[in-house]
A and B are shown apart, each in its own frame.
Chain A
Amino acid sequence: MAKTLREVAEKAQAVSLVTVTIDGREVRVPEGVTILEACRMEGIHVPTLCYLEGLSAWGGCRICMVEVEGQPNLVASCVTPVREGMKIWTSSKKVREARKTNLELLLSNHPLDCQLCDRNGSCELQELAYQFGVREIRFQGERKVYEVDQSSPSVKRDPNRCILCGRCVRTCREIQTVCAIDFANRGFDTVISPSLGLPLGESVCVNCGQCILACPTGALSEVSHVEMVWEAINDPEKFVILQTAPAIRVSIGEPFGLPPGTVTTGKMVAAFRRLGFDRVFDTNFAADLTIIEEGHEFIARLKQGGKLPLITSCSPGWIKFMEHFYPELMENVSTCKSPQQMFGAVAKTYYAQKLGIDPKDMVVVSIMPCTAKKFECQRDEMCASGFRDVDFSLTTREAARMLKEKGIDLKEMPEEDFDDPLGISTGAAAVFGATGGVMEAALRSVYEILTGKTLERLDFYSVRGMDGVKEATVDINGMEVHVAVAHGLGNARKVLDQVKAGRSKYHFIEIMACPGGCIGGGGQPIPTNLEIRMKRIEAIYQVDRSLPLRKSHENPAVQRLYEEFLGEPNGERAHHLLHTHYVPRERM
C-alpha cells in the first residue's frame, strides 16, 4: 500500500537485491520495488501524474510509461515491480511518443487558460507540457464543460481542470478515511464528485484541504478570501487586525524561494505590516491562552472525575470529522475554541475595549495553514462579541500571493516584532504548529500547575515526529497520565475506535486533521510532501528553543488578560468567550 521512501529503504535492507538494466546500465535494486522506484534510486525521475508518494499506486494516467524489452506493450513504471534481468528503457522513441501523446490527450480535454488558473506556476500538468515540449495538440475533439462547484466554504472544485488522476480521491480515502469524493460516471463522462452527486458543501467533506495539496492541477483550490481582505485593508473606516498561525512562519518563505524549514518570523511580520494591516498580532498568543483554558479543563476533569479521555479541539477539520463520524465522543472533546477563534473573541472584546473601538468596525483576518479554518470562522457559534470572532481566513498560499501582488519580497524584509499585547507568546505556543505540539505544550503547563514544581526537561520527544500515532506516559504527582497523539484522520480513527470500544487507557489525546499537524495543513505552500513536512517540523522546534519563555502559563500578556478581563481560567467570562459546543452531523 502506501509506500514511502523510508519503507523502500527499509525494504532495501531486509530484502535481497535483483539486477536490472536501466537505459543500458546494470544496477542492483531491492526486490519488490517498482520500476519507478528503481529508476528514482538511480537518479532518473520518470515523469508521473497519478502517482503520489504515500498513496497506493493506481496506474491510470499512463504518463510514467517505460519500455521493457520482450514486452509487446509499454508498461506503467509506477505499478510494475522489477524482475531479475529486466531491461528497461526510459526514454526510447516509443516511450517519449507515448508519454507525450497521453499528455496531449489530457490537454485536448483541458481549458488551456493557465493565466486564469489558481495553479499557474505550480501546476504539474503545465510543467510536464513544458518539459515534453508540447507545441500543438494533434487530437482535437469534444471538450467537457462543467460548472464550478463553489458550495463549500473551504474547497473550490473546478472539474474542467481535472485530469482524473485520482490523487484527491485516494488522499481523502486512504489518508483521511473521509471518502467525501470519488469517481462518478464512466468513460469520457468520468468526473470526480462528492458522493450522491451532492455539492461538496453538503457532503461529509471536513474541509481539511489535503486533496488540494494532492492535486497536480488547478482543479482543487481554496475558496479565496483575498478580495475581501483587500477591501477591508483599503477601507479607512475599518480597523484591520491580522493574526498569523504558528505554522506560517516556517512555511511562508517557500513561495519566495527560501528553502523549506526556514524560520521567517521577523520578515513575515514586516511584510504583513507593509501590506497595510493596522496591527500584526500572533495566533501564538491565543495558543498560550488555549493551553491555559484546555489545561484547566483537563485538570478539572482529572480531579472531578469528568469525561476522559479529553480530546483536543484546535483542528476544525477534526471537529467536523468528529461531528460526522464520532458524535458519540462529543463530550470527550474539549469545549475550548481553537486559537484562531479565541484570538478573534479576545480581539473584539478585550482589545477593542482597550482601544475604545466599536467591534463592528474591527476586522479580524487570520493567516492559517488550513482550509478548514475558513469553515470554522463561519460557524454560527463563533460570535462571542456579537460579531464574527474572525472575519476572513487566508491560507499561506493566498497570503503569499497578496504580498506578491503588492510587490513585497519577503526575503528582503527587515526583521520586525509583533505588536503588543496580542503578539506576545511562548515556545509552547510555537510547537502548536507540529503534530504533538499541543500535547507537549499542555503537559509543560499541566505538570507545573498540578505539582507546583518546575519541569526540568521541557522536551517531550516521544510525542514528536511523523509516526501516525504516538503515545507517552507522564508521572504527575505519582499518577501515571497516559497521552496519545494522532495526526491525519486515518490515524485518528485508530485511536478513536479504541476509545469508542472502551479499550483506551488514555487520559488526554491530541488530534490534528492534517498529516504532520498544521505545518502540513491544506493551506500550505505546494508542494507539501513528507520531506518538506519534516523540515518545517524541525523549524518549529527551532522557534521553540530560541524563545526565552517556553511555557504558556508564563506568558505575561496572557496573565494580564486574566487579571484585567477574564478572571479565572474556565470562569464564567472565559466560558462565554473562549468555549464552544458541537453539533452532530449526518454520515452521508
Chain B
Amino acid sequence: MFYRAHVLVEMTSSSVALGAAQVKEQLEREIARAGLGNEVKVLETGSFGAALPSPFVVVYPDNVIYAPVSVRDVRRIVEEHLLKGRVVRELLFAGERGGGVATFIPPSPLKKEKRVVLRNSGLIDPLNIEEYIARDGYLALAKVLTEMTPEEVIEVVKRSGLQGRGGAGFPTGLKWEFTRKAEGEEKYIVCNADEGEPGTFKDRLILEGDPHSVLEAMAIAGYAVGANQGYIYVRAEYPQSIRHLEVAIAQAKERGLLGERILGTSFSFDVKIRRGAGAYVCGEETALLESIEGKRGEPRVKPPYPPQKGLWGKPTVINNVETLANIPPIILNGPDWFRSIGTPTCPGTKVFTLTGNVNNLGLVEVPMGITLRELVFEIGGGIRGGHGLKLVQTGGPSGGTMTPDLLDVPMAFDTLPRYNSALGSGALTVIDDTHCIVDIVKNFAEFFLHESCGKCTPCRVGGKRIVDILERISAGAGSPEDLEKLRYLGQHMKATAFCGLGQAAPNPLLRCLEFFREEFEVHVREKCCPQGVCTMRPKPQPKKTVRV
C-alpha cells in the first residue's frame, strides 16, 4: 500500500500530557471520515529536532508543521490540507507562518548572500514569460543555437567547474560529454525535481519562482548532447511547481522557444512533465528513470550509468533543478565569471535551507566555501532559546553529521567528505543540545527504514535491525554489545547496500556513535537518558498477521 501523505504526531511524554494521543485518534477518525484512509497514514514521531510547541503535527512530504495542535483543529487540517491541499495558515507553527515554508532569510548584514540560481525568484512574475525575457531570459539559448557548436557548449560547462547540485557533486560538463559521445539516435534530458530530502525546498522555489530558467537550461543541454526530448520529474506534492511549469512550457512554445525548430534553427526540443511517485528513493536517478517508465521506483543496476543507458535504454542526462538553473548565467557570463565565485575546487554558489533550532529559518544562496559558523551563527542568527549547538545535519538524513568541532570547515563538495560528511542537497538541520543523541539517530534511522525501497537485504532488514536496537536502547533495554552491533550493522550497510540511499543511511549513526560515544554509553550502562528524552521503558511488541 502506498500512502500519498503521512501525518506525524508528536508522541513524547510531554506532548501526551498535552493531549497528543487524543489528537492522533481524532486525526485517524477524520481521515477515515474523509475517505482518505487508503491515502494518508498517521504515524507517531518523537521529538523532531526542533523546539516546537507541543503537540505538533507534521504533514509529510509537504513538510508543513502545525504546532501546537488541539483536537478542535484536527477537522480543519484534514478537510483543508489533506483533502483540498490548502495549508491552514492560522494553525502553522509560528516560525513558518510568514510565507509558508519557502521563506527567504532577510539578507545578512554581512552581505554573504550571492544570488545566481535565485536571480529571478521573487523578482519576476513566473507566469509571464516577458518578465523572464526582459532579464536576459532565453538569451543563453539563442547564443548557443546561433553562435556555438555543441562541443563548445560542453567545453564551457566543463571549464566552469559546475558540479551537480542534486547531492553527489558530479561534474556536469563531463556528464554531458559522456552523453554526447554515447551511441544512440535518441537521447533524453531529465530534470530531477523530486526533492525528497526532508528540510529541503530549494528546487520548489526555483520551479515556482523561475520555471523558465530550468526550461532554458534543459534546451541548452539538449542541444549540447543531441537530445530533442526532456522530462521534468516533479514531486507530486508540488502542485504549484507543476502548474507554473505547465504555463511556462505553453508560453515558451507559443514564442518558439521550445518545440519544433527553436528560434528558426534546425534544433527542436520539447519538455514533458512527469509527477513523482512519492517515494524518497525515486529521487535516485535510476529509480527515477524506472518511475518515468511506469515501473516500480526501484534503483537499477549501475553500470550502465544513465549517460550510457538511461531512459528507455537511451543515453540520458539527469540533472538537478539547481544545477540546471546555473547553466544560462554560465553561458552568458562565461566560465571564468563562474569560477570567480566559491572555492577553486568547487566554484559557484549553493542554496542552503536552514531548519531546526536556529533563530532565522529559511533559505539563502551563498558562495561555496562558506563555513557552518557563518551559516548558523551569522545568517541563521544563532541557536534559538540560547541553547548550545549539538549538531548540524547537512544534506538531509543521508548527508553528513557536522559536530561542533567542524564549524569552521568550508562547505563544499570536496571538503566535507574528509570529515565523513557530505554537502548533499544543501539542507541544514540545526539541532540544539537539549536533544538526546539516541533519539536523534533513531529518528534518522526511522526515516531511512520508511524510505527503503525494500530491494536489498542490508537496507531492508539491516535498516530495520538498526531501528530495533535503537528502540531497545531508548527503552532502557540496551546493552554495551548493542553499540558494537550498531557500528557493525552501520558499516555493513554502507559496504553492501545496493544504492546510494542504503549506503548513506548509516552515516549519521556512525559519526554520532563516534562523537557522542559517552552519551550512548550512559544509555546502555546506566540505563539513563541524560536529556530526559528516551522513555527508558520497554514497549510491548504487538503481533499481528497480515494478509497479502
Contact = CB atoms under 8 A, between A and B. Distances in A.
Interface stretch (A14-22, A53-61, A459-467, A534-542): A53-61
A187 interface: yes
Contact of B454 (A139, A147, A185): A185
Interface in B499-546: 503, 541, 543-546
Contacts of B547: 146-147, 149
B453 interface: yes
A73 B460 contact: no
Interface in B467-511: 468-469, 485, 488-489, 492, 494-498, 503
A106 B301 CA distance: 21
Interface string A182-202: 111111111111000100000
Given A59-B456, A62-B457, A146-B548, A141 B464 contact: yes
A81 B543 contact: no
Interface string A36-70: 00000000000000000000011111110100000
B356 to A, nearest CB: 25
B113 interface: no
Contact of B1 (A141, A144, A145, A185): A185
Contacts of A184: 1, 548
A98 B548 contact: no
Given A61-B456, A62-B457, A189-B454, A146 B545 contact: yes
A79 B301 contact: yes
Contact of A197 (B461, B492, B548): B548
A145 B546 CA distance: 6
A94 interface: yes
Interface in A171-229: 182-193, 197
Give the residue among B457, B489, B492, B497 with the most A Cβ atoms within 10 A: B457
Contacts of B465: 105, 108, 139-141
B494 to A, nearest CB: 7
Given A106-B457, A139-B485, A73 B545 contact: no
B61 interface: no
Contacts of A192: 548
A529 interface: no
Contacts of B498: 59-60, 62, 76
Given A109-B461, A146-B547, A159-B548, A186 B452 contact: yes
Contacts of B243: none
Taking residues whose C-beta sits less than 8 angstroms from the other chain, chain A's interface range is: 35 or more
A145 B450 contact: no
B463 interface: yes
Contact of B458 (A105, A141, A159): A105
A61 B543 CA distance: 26
A73 B503 contact: yes
A197 B492 CA distance: 33
A147 B546 contact: yes
Contact of A182 (B1, B296, B463, B541): B296
B455 interface: yes
A164 B548 CA distance: 14
Contacts of B451: 186-187
A186 B548 contact: no
Nearest to A159: B548
Nearest to A75: B496
A176 B1 CA distance: 26
Interface string B412-436: 0000000000000000000000000
A580 interface: no
Contacts of A193: 548
A98 B98 CA distance: 50
Interface in A114-163: 138-142, 144-147, 149, 159
A73 B449 contact: no
Contacts of A504: none
Contacts of A65: 496
Given A58-B301, A59-B301, A74-B495, A142 B468 contact: yes
B546 A144 contact: yes
Max chain A Cβ within 10 angstroms of own Cβ: one of B454, B485, B546: B454
A102 B454 contact: no
A559 interface: no
Contact of A187 (B296, B460, B543): B460
Contacts of B496: 62, 65, 73-74, 98, 101-102
A142 to B, nearest CB: 6
Contacts of B303: 81
B464 A60 contact: no
A188 B449 contact: yes
A101 B460 contact: no
Contacts of A72: 495
Interface in B277-303: 279, 296, 298, 301, 303
A215 to B, nearest CB: 16
A145 B454 contact: no
A63 B458 CA distance: 10
A98 B492 contact: yes
Given A59-B456, A187-B449, A101 B545 contact: no
B495 to A, nearest CB: 5
A115 to B, nearest CB: 21
Nearest to B298: A183
Contacts of A63: 457
B454 A190 contact: yes
Contacts of B276: none
Nearest to A94: B495
Contacts of A73: 494-496, 503
Contacts of A159: 548
B313 to A, nearest CB: 11
B462 interface: yes
B463 A187 contact: yes
Given A94-B495, A145-B546, A188 B457 contact: no
Contacts of B469: 139, 141
24 contacts: A61-B456, A62-B458, A62-B496, A62-B497, A73-B496, A101-B496, A102-B457, A102-B458, A105-B465, A106-B457, A141-B465, A142-B468, A145-B544, A146-B548, A149-B547, A149-B548, A185-B454, A187-B451, A187-B464, A188-B452, A188-B460, A188-B461, A188-B464, A190-B455
Interface of B: 1-2, 279, 296, 298, 301, 303, 449-458, 460-465, 468-469, 485, 488-489, 492, 494-498, 503, 541, 543-548
Complex A-B, nearest 9 residue pairs according to Cβ-Cβ distance, in ascending order? A190-B454, A141-B468, A187-B452, A105-B461, A139-B465, A79-B301, A188-B464, A191-B548, A147-B547
Interface of A: 57-63, 65, 72-74, 76, 79, 81, 94, 97-98, 101-102, 105-106, 108-109, 138-142, 144-147, 149, 159, 164, 182-193, 197
Given A108-B465, A183-B298, 10 more contacts: A58-B455, A62-B456, A94-B495, A102-B496, A145-B543, A149-B548, A185-B548, A187-B449, A188-B449, A188-B460
